[in-house]
Amino acid sequence: MSCSFKIDPALPGEFAGLALGDYASIEQDEPFALSTQIELRDAVGISQVYLLIREWVSGGEYVGQATRLVELTPEATPTLVVRAGRSTGHVVQPALALRRPQGTAAEGTITIRKLIFGSLYQHPDWLTG
């Protein structure tokens, strides 16, 4: 999957985000993994890219997130982030955050390959290959 982006310099803050999938229910202490290969091409104004698993109270407030800095190299390298649920009844969502200096325009194309998102309890084979 590839998408092109343009971030208006008037957008407040340093970060712009992109949801990578739907919300999934999570139980307390259940480990969720998000793994993908990311390639950033023709990018201007982006200083860093982060892979995220965000956690929310279902239908409610933001709880927190697990974050992993994506190493931007000429070849897309795998990036993995894991989050354990803080409470039963919460949901998690896979996301990407693009960082740029506040007040700066940014643009480019991002390609996402081999996206895996789910519970390690339901997919223990992900750990063993």
With pLDDT > 70 as the criterion, what percentage of the chain qualifies? Answer: 98
What is the rounded average pLDDT of the residues 54-63?
Answer: 94
pLDDT at 47 over 80: yes
**Local confidence band at 14 (pLDDT 50, 70, 90 cut-offs):** very high
- The SS3 call for residue 126 is helix
Q: Across all residues in the chain, what is the average pLDDT? A: 91
Cβ atoms of residues 29 and 85 within 8 Å: yes
Which domains are assigned to the chain?
2-123 (2.60.120.260)
Phi-psi region of 22 (alpha: psi -120 to 50; beta: other; left: phi over 0): beta
Q: According to the model, what pLDDT value does residue 86 have?
A: 95
